[in-house]
């Protein structure tokens, strides 16, 4: 199962991804988490992305695509994965298609969590206020100003992915403003059906050809045909000289 979760910041993609990971035993591939881990570790990519992320801008495609291509090759992603926060642009989606094609893979579904932006802003601002009240540390991008920038970036660069994947017939839209249990149920209904275990069945409309056994004593050329036997020629008899009447009395 290979999925993409689409939606603006705060739509609940992370919540649904964690639930799907626990339910199906697949891995969540969040480019945000990977980039933040790189920033914390001080890697070259992390240092390059740190200032960009703090401003709420998008990380360049070449960096993100390289991270994703390397990550899906790892063994824990062989059973399936959820891409959260990637792709963000149509060029990234095209790059992902090329990566999957080279590996002989395909997406199972793209789940769009559709939300109302005004309600979303109020939700995020409330969450930030609660985090501050609890004394929790905020990330650099946890602020209303950055949120507005990220929403604008989503509308401009990421929203076109909805049409991109709709044309591929893999897009499924879910109401992200519903209560979390309802969103979860809707996401589960939108997932592709898992193939049944066991031997693969022949495609519909094609019947397996069954060969009937030939009758005993018939060769390959006579399968399904009545046996034609040639009559045996009559046995040859040795000719005996005919006796004529009166021949035995001659010479007396």
Whether residue 139 lies in the annotated active site: yes
d(CA 169, CA 171): 6
Q: Which of 55, 98, 103, 139 is catalytic?
A: 139
**250 carries an active-site annotation:** no
Pick the catalytic residue from 13, 36, 71, 172.
13
Q: Which helix (H) or strand (E) holds 173?
A: strand 171-175
Instruction: Outline where DSSP puts E strands in 16-168.
Output: 27-30, 81-84, 109-114
The token pair that represents 223 in the structure block: 């399968």
Which member of 122, 127, 132, 225 is catalytic? 127
Of the listed 36, 71, 88, 172, which one is catalytic?
88
Helix (H, G, I), strand (E, B) or coil at 209: coil
| 169 contacts 2 by C-beta, under 8 angstroms | no
Q: Rounded to whole angstroms, what are the CA distances from 106 to 2, 80, 110, 146, 186?
A: 7, 10, 11, 34, 22
The answer to whether residues 106 and 168 touch, using CB atoms and an 8 Å cutoff, is no
Question: 150 catalytic, yes or no?
Answer: yes
Q: Which residues are catalytic?
A: 13, 88, 127, 139, 150
């Amino acid at each position: 199962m290979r999925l993409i979760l689409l939606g603006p910041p705060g739509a609940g993609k992370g919540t649904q991804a964690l639930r799907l990971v626990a339910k199906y035993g697949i891995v969540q591939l969040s480019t945000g988490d990977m980039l933040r881990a790189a920033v914390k570790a001080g890697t070259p990519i992390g240092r390059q992305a740190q200032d960009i992320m703090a401003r709420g801008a998008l990380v360049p495609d070449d960096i993100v695509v390289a991270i994703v291509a390397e990550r899906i090759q790892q063994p824990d992603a062989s059973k399936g994965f959820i891409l959260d926060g990637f792709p963000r642009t149509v060029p990234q989606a095209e790059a992902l298609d090329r990566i999957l094609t080279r590996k002989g893979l395909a997406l199972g579904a793209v789940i769009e969590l559709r939300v109302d932006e005004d309600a979303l802003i109020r939700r995020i601002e409330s969450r930030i206020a609660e985090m501050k009240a609890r004394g929790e540390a905020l990330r650099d991008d946890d602020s209303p100003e950055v949120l507005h920038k990220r929403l604008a970036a989503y509308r401009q660069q990421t929203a076109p992915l909805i049409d991109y994947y709709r044309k591929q017939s893999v897009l499924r839209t879910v109401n992200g403003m519903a209560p979390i249990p309802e969103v979860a149920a809707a996401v589960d209904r939108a997932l592709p059906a898992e193939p049944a275990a066991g031997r693969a069945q022949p495609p519909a409309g094609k019947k397996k050809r069954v060969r009937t056994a030939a009758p005993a004593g018939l060769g390959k050329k006579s399968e399904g045909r009545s046996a034609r036997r040639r009559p045996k020629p009559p046995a040859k008899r040795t000719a005996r000289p005919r006796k004529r009447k009166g021949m035995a009395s001659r010479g007396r």
